Amino acid sequence: MQTHSAIWVYLSASPLWGLTLTLVCYLLALKIYRQANHHPLLNPVGWSILMIITVLVVGDISYPSYFSGAQFIHFLLGPVTVALAIPLFFQLEKLKKVWLPLSVALVVGMTVSGFSAYFIAQALGASEQTMLSMIPKSVTAPVAMGIAEKTGGLPTLTAVFVVMTGIFGAFIGTSLFKLFRIQDDTVKGVAMGVTAHGLGTARSFQVSPEMGAFAGLAMALAASLSAFVLPVVLSLLKSF
């Protein structure tokens, strides 16, 4: 029989445990979330992250070591971004009807979300790199990281901000719309997709299929437009 340390040496060199840990934590958090009737405070992504960090801190395991396994999940962000073309295609008829209000809301929404964060962070004395990493935070992670790389932000920090934004948007969205009497599911979906990307979309699908479809649509469109719009707005701001 192998000793415990020999097993540990084998495991820590293998990407297997990081991958398994991520899936186990996610499924566990998802189960609790579903049993609690999708209570926003039990957001499965937030709790999975907390669980995994706890395991890593307790086990004195480094993030790169964990990521060598988890990267197999992270990698899927690319093909899944491509896959957004399919729901987009099936919303084509609706898209033709609302394309003008949608595109205006899209450009205004993502500019306001990104740059309000930039200026609030600036006012509160954040570092330049933090501010720059915040600009694409409303865009889905793979795209946001790509933009951050091109505008002088820190891609991994942007990823963290993206996840925080998504969790918070999914958490506050529906009650905020209720408070301000915004009732149209199309409008609510678009706001969630533009502001809180994939996590906002996941939340919207729980409210209604229409809200979900439009959130997905808005997220996909924001993902394709943001890469053009955000760097341009930033360079305009910098020229002043």
Partner 1 sequence: MQFLTVMTLLLIFQLSGELLVLSWDLPVPGPVLGMMLMFLVLLFKHKVAHQMRPATEQLLSHLSLLFIPAGVGVMVHVVRLEQEWIAILVAIFLSTLIGLLVTAWTMQLMMKLLHSKDIK
Task: Say which residues have a Cβ less than 8 Å from residue 22's Cβ, sequence separation at least 6.
Answer: 48, 52, 69, 70, 73
Identified binder of partner 1 from the candidate list 24, 42, 227, 233, rule CB under 8 A: 227
Residue among 6 and 129 whose Cβ is closer to partner 1: 129
Report phi then psi at 182, rounded to 5. Answer: -95, 115
Do residues 110 and 139 touch, judged by C-beta distance below 8 A?
A: yes
**Is residue 114 within the footprint of partner 1 (CB under 8 A)?**
yes
In angstroms, the first-to-last Cα distance of the chain is 69
Contact 229, 110 (CB under 8 A): yes
Judged by CB, which is closer to partner 1: 141, or 207?
Answer: 141
> What is d(CA 108, CA 25) in angstroms, rounded to the nearest whole number?
37
Asked if residue 207 binds partner 1 (CB under 8 A), the reply is: no
15 is an interface residue for partner 1 by CB under 8 A: no
C-beta closer to partner 1: residue 49 or 207: 49
Does 104 sit near partner 1 (CB under 8 A)? yes
| 204 binds partner 1 per the rule CB under 8 A | no
If binding is defined by CB under 8 A, does position 217 make contact with partner 1?
no
Q: How far is the CB of 1 from partner 1 (least distance, A)?
A: 33
Tell me which residues in 62-91 interact with partner 1 (CB under 8 A): 63, 66-67, 70-71, 73-74, 76-90
CA 14, CA 25: separation in Å to the nearest integer? 19
Q: Shortest gap between Cβ of 238 and partner 1 (angstroms)?
A: 16
Q: What is the residue whose two structure tokens read 């469109």?
A: 221
Q: How far is the CB of 219 from partner 1 (least distance, A)?
A: 9
Q: Where are the alpha helices (DSSP H) in 135-182?
A: 141-151, 155-179
The least CB distance from residue 113 to partner 1, in Å, is: 3
